Amino acid sequence: MNVLGLFRGRRGAIALATGIALVAGSVVTFAAASAGAPARDLTSAGCPYTFAVITHGDNGSFWSPVYKGAKDAAKDLGCRLSEVYGSQTAGQAEPDDIAENAQIQDAINAHVNGIAVSDHDPVLMNPTIAKAVARGIPVVLLNAGCDPADLAASHAMTCVGQPETLAGQAAGALFKNQGMTNVLCVIHQSGQNLIDRCNGLATGLGLSSCSTKSPPTSGVGCTKLVLSTPNAASNPTQAIGQVITYLQAHTGINAVLSLNSAIGDALVTAAPSKVKIATFDLDSGTLADLRSGKMDFAIDQQQYLQGYLPIVFLYLYNKHEGNSAGGGSVVPSGPLLVTKANVNKVAAAIAAGDD
């Protein structure tokens, strides 16, 4: 099967969701949630519901489309969002999971009609999310928590995000189709989702798992490299030094799947010889590298959908007698494989903030 053919319908999901969601003449009001304040009817629109959007992210280039998606869905429906943004502030190395968990509790106390939340620390957050569901507040997970065990423990109806195993498989299949079968999978920590990403890559290459041992000198291989830089996106120079040193020591590797766009862009600049480069996520540098052919492909998780679709699902649940989407499993927002062939279309979506 043509791998790219699996992921050509990037606008179909948006069009479907918009078609379901559109309410003519609707108006949305954004207001901060106040503890103890029940959701109020909107006199200027047909949607009386207030939904909370809570994430572990910041307001940077990755998360902004998530928030725009949620705002757009609320506007299309005429609903209200309590504007609770991410727990990670600018310059902060890691998200504040305790703060995010407190925001979930605040949304429960405010008696919102639904919560869209990234389940970034399941041990901490699953009991709080389950509390919301027990009190009759529907919950849709987004971006993080797209795991059957977390969905079951939190009692959320679904999770909208990119299954990392599926994304890795798509990358591995494309590399294999190109004859690049000795691949380095770069990650920054041994978290389960990143392990799933690398093991998916291995599956796409025809292997059972991605190894931490030295890569083979030839033939098929998948090797994990865990960077020693915890916040690698903010310090790509140090991270890339480690990647380049590894490639110089293991010349059999012919392709690299990068952690994120910052690392991918820096790796292209470093220009290791005879190595194809692909990356997770996109930025302006990645788009330029794809257009020039210096970047082989990028994996787009279409995070705009991670904001838009949860609001649609929460609306349908409230409006239509508990109709729920996802069936307790994941609704994939990606992956979309972006190559030189389709980069201009994706760039237009990014420019509009819709990717």
The per-residue pLDDT for range 196-231, each reduced to its tens digit, is 899 999 999 999 999 989 999 989 999 999 887 666
| Mode of pairing for the β-strands spanning 139-142 and 114-117 | parallel
According to the model, what pLDDT value does residue 193 have?
Answer: 66
Q: Is the pLDDT of residue 267 over 50?
A: yes
Q: Give per-residue pLDDT as tens, 29-58.
A: 333 333 333 444 333 457 999 999 999 887
Q: Do domains 4-162+302-334 and 164-300 have the same CATH topology?
A: yes
Burial group, residue 144, by CB count within 10 angstroms (0-12, 13-18, 19+): buried
Band the pLDDT of 105: cuts 50, 70, 90. very high
Q: Which two tokens stand for residue 348?
A: 């237009």
Query: What pLDDT, on a 0 to 100 scale, did the predictor assign at position 130?
Result: 97
CB 236 within 8 Å of CB 263: yes
pLDDT the model gives residue 91: 53
Confidence class of residue 187 from pLDDT cuts 50, 70 and 90? confident
CATH code linked to domain 4-162+302-334: 3.40.50.2300
User: pLDDT-based confidence at 88, cuts 50/70/90?
Assistant: low
Q: What one-letter code names the amino acid at 241?
A: G
Number of Cα atoms under 13 Å in the Cβ half of residue 141: 37
For residue 277, pLDDT beyond 60: yes
Would you say residue 108 has pLDDT above 70? yes
Q: What pLDDT does 190 receive? A: 59
Residue 4 above 70 pLDDT? no
In contact, 206 and 168? CB cutoff 8 Å: no
Q: Is the pLDDT score of 123 beyond 80?
A: yes
Three-class DSSP category at 74: helix
Q: Name which of 85-89, 203-207, 336-340 the model is least confident about.
A: 85-89
- Cα distances (Å, whole numbers) of residue 244 to 168, 236, 270, 287, 301: 22, 12, 8, 22, 26
Confidence at residue 115, expressed as pLDDT on a 0 to 100 scale:
97
What letter represents residue 125's amino acid? M
How far apart are the C-alpha atoms of 44 and 197, rounded to whole Å?
45
Lowest-pLDDT range, 30-44, 302-316, 334-348?
30-44
Would you list the DSSP string of 119-186? -SSHHHHHHHHHHHHHTT--EEEESS--SHHHHHHHT-SEEEE--HHHHHHHHHHHHHHTT--EEEEE
pLDDT band at 182 (very low <50, low <70, confident <90, very high): very high
The architecture CATH gives domain 164-300: 3-Layer(aba) Sandwich (3.40)
**For the chain, domain boundaries:** 4-162+302-334, 164-300
Determine the Cα–Cα distance for residues 327 and 329; give it in Å rounded to an integer: 5
Q: Is the pTM of this model over 0.85?
A: no
More confidently predicted of 163 and 234 = 163
- The residues near 324 (Cβ < 8 Å, ≥ 6 apart) are 138, 157, 158, 313, 316, 317
Paired tokens of 156? 């959320």
Q: Using CA atoms, how far apart are residues 253 and 277, in angstroms rounded to an integer?
A: 11
Q: What's the chain's average pLDDT?
A: 83
